[in-house]
Amino acid sequence: MVGGCRVRSGRPREPGIRSPPLTDEHPTIVTGAAGWLGTNLVRSLVADGRRVRGLVLGGDDAAFLELLGPQVEVVVGDVRDPDALDRLFEGAGDADVFHTAAVIHPRRRTRELFDTNVGGTELVLDQARRVGVRRLVHVSSNSPFGVNPDPASAFTEDDPYRPWLAYGESKQEAEALVVRAAERGDVHSVIVRAPWFYGPYQPARQTRFLRAVRRGRFPVVGDGRQRRSMVYVGNLVDGLRLAADAEVPPGRAYWVADARPYELGEIIETVRAAFDAEGLACSGRPWRLPRAVSRAAEAADRLLQAGGRYHQALHVLGELGHTIACDVSRARAELGYEPAVDLFEGMRRSIRWCLARGEAL
């Protein structure tokens, strides 16, 4: 800071994205910094010369992030651990905070969702209030809103909560905590709701999805016309950074996704076209799965989760029969958000990232 003004770097300014100073008094805080989204976010911040302090779970994650540059400081610990958060927020007054840490697919028990997504968020908000951060951007999900009533509809920010099972309930509770903190004046917070995202630094489950589509083993449920909003991870990072700077009321929420939802059949065909564009032949053809099978998986998922248990494959298959689509109009109007990468190009980048790592597709 010089004379109360931000000194800008000499880097080219991306559309709609600030160019922060190369030297910042306060680091930008990122929870879940080694996750799929967190890694892409940290890389974006570092490319703009920002100092970053990230929370990661283990030493291997710390070593990976530290390779990004000396301006990255890593705190090893769990978002549910107050001592780890003390270290993360030390001297972080007036910082920006991106809260990306969450459990999406628990290993076995749904309790993990509430422990991390609700308990961790509560602790992060408490620390943010205590040190007086400038703004907290909380990453939420489509799951607090369930599924759309028909393939033609899309969620807006004014739609009511209809949480989809335990994950949706945990993210709804987390959103409620963020909104209450904003209403009390504790933390100037903004909520970004992200659907299914894709792109580099993806976890193994997304690589399995690509592999299954290439080999004709990923099902088209029903007629395949149910729609899904998706977001390229780089588009999502842009939306998060815009939300950190926009002059918007505390507690405001935004859907951030690609420009439009995609039909399920279109998603599968686009992934196969991306493989073709990268010179990788696809085998077989996408196979049709009766919608009744997806409904049966959904029923089994509900039964398991009622007993506190979780099975990822059942959960994913149960969702595939539904439309889960959102409208990004508010983010465009109020944040200046404009998704730059579409599904075809984003999937090509995902494939290239896998190949560069030597992963079998």
Of 41, 19, 43, 24, nearest to 32 by C-alpha is: 41
Residue 14 belongs to some domain of the structure: no
- Supply the pLDDT for residue 94: 93
- Supply the pLDDT for residue 132: 97
Residue 22 belongs to some domain of the structure: no
- Supply the pLDDT for residue 286: 86
Residue 66 belongs to some domain of the structure: yes
Cα torsion angle, 153, 159, 160, 164, sign: positive
- Supply the pLDDT for residue 9: 32
Residue 213 belongs to some domain of the structure: no
The 10s digit of each residue's pLDDT in 65-89 is: 999 999 999 999 999 999 999 999 9
Global pTM reads 0.92
CB-CB contact of 215 with 164 (8 Å): no
> Where in the sequence is the domain holding 256, given as residue range(s)?
28-202+227-261+323-342
Q: Which DSSP letter does residue 253 get?
A: E
Residue 343 CA to residue 320 CA, distance in Å, equals 18
Residue 292 belongs to some domain of the structure: no
CATH code of 188's domain? 3.40.50.720
Number of domain units in the chain: 1
Residue 111 belongs to some domain of the structure: yes
Point out the residues of the chain with pLDDT beneath 70.
Answer: 1-25
- Supply the pLDDT for residue 25: 66
Residue 276 belongs to some domain of the structure: no
- Supply the pLDDT for residue 60: 85
Q: CA–CA distance from 301 to each of 65, 147, 215, 307, 316 (Å)?
A: 36, 15, 26, 10, 9
Residue 72 belongs to some domain of the structure: yes
